[in-house]
Amino acid sequence: MSIRPNKVKQRLAAGQVATILSGTNDPDLIDQLGPLGADGIWLEGEHGGVDFADLGNLTRACDLWGVTSVVRVMDNDYATIYRTLDRGAQGIVVPHVNTGAEARAVVEAAKFAPLGKRGMFTSRQGFGVGDYLKTANDQSLLIVLIEDIAAVNNLDEILRVDHIDVFFVAPNDMATSMGHIGNMGHPDVQKTVDGAIARIVQAGRTAGTLVSSANVEDYTRQGVRCIMTSFFPWIQTGAKDLIDRAAAGAGGR
């Protein structure tokens, strides 16, 4: 038996755009999202309710649809990272990675020897897989968040760290770190985000960022190949449109 392929990694290796949807911590909703054809599902363990007990069923639902389970952990902690992988996650997102040393710590926690120091245990993804320790290293997706101005200042050293798959520039926390709280559209923030993306692409590494329907084409033109978006705005827009049209058809409320 072979390890399940990582769809996001496959797309990135082919130079294609990988799309990750966020907004669900429920296996049934993952089933409903499955037919959309996204490459990954973002499971929120930093700001959301995902915990170790949930991960088995959440990642299993992703497996059923052949989409990559991508879990944002709460911090850059060795045990948290490898236990999240042990519970079945195919990808890890680590927040606030601000130095090369912090990026190397992600690799050490997420990769088995000789690449890293992940605890030697067969995860849920490894049952029945004969060469699991090697193929797990090949298939695990590592994403670090570039979300502080300190990370931008240290970006060159972060980009030199091997085995990181995506350097994801996160605009909201970036805005806060620059003193523009809640204003990720501020020109200085946008300039910083775009500049970081350009440096990642120029270094031959994979850039990621948060996108919306309004800016996705702009970012993919800049070279971003890993995009994450929440489906909440789609629901809000669709629901409002239906409610407004129903009211208009009835002659108003």
Specify the range with the lowest mean pLDDT, choosing from 46-50, 115-119, 166-170, 248-252: 248-252
In this prediction, residue 122 has a pLDDT band, given cuts at 50, 70 and 90, of confident
Q: Is the pLDDT of residue 169 over 90?
A: yes
In this prediction, residue 187 has a pLDDT band, given cuts at 50, 70 and 90, of very high
Over range 155-168, report the average pLDDT.
Answer: 99
In this prediction, residue 252 has a pLDDT band, given cuts at 50, 70 and 90, of low
pTM (two decimals) = 0.94
Answer yes or no: 163 catalytic.
no
How high does pLDDT run on average in the chain? 95
Phi, psi of 176 (to 5 degrees): -65, -45
Q: Catalytic residue among 47, 96, 180, 186, which? A: 47
* Cα–Cα distance measured from residue 216 to residue 194, given in angstroms and rounded to the nearest whole number: 13
Domain ranges of the chain: 7-249
Q: Is the pLDDT of residue 253 over 70?
A: no
- The third-level CATH classification (topology) of the domain covering 7-249 is TIM Barrel (3.20.20)
In this prediction, residue 251 has a pLDDT band, given cuts at 50, 70 and 90, of confident
Over range 4-26, report the average pLDDT.
Answer: 96
In this prediction, residue 2 has a pLDDT band, given cuts at 50, 70 and 90, of confident
Over range 147-152, report the average pLDDT.
Answer: 98
Over range 181-199, report the average pLDDT.
Answer: 97
CA-based nearest residue to 31, from 62, 66, 70, 69: 62
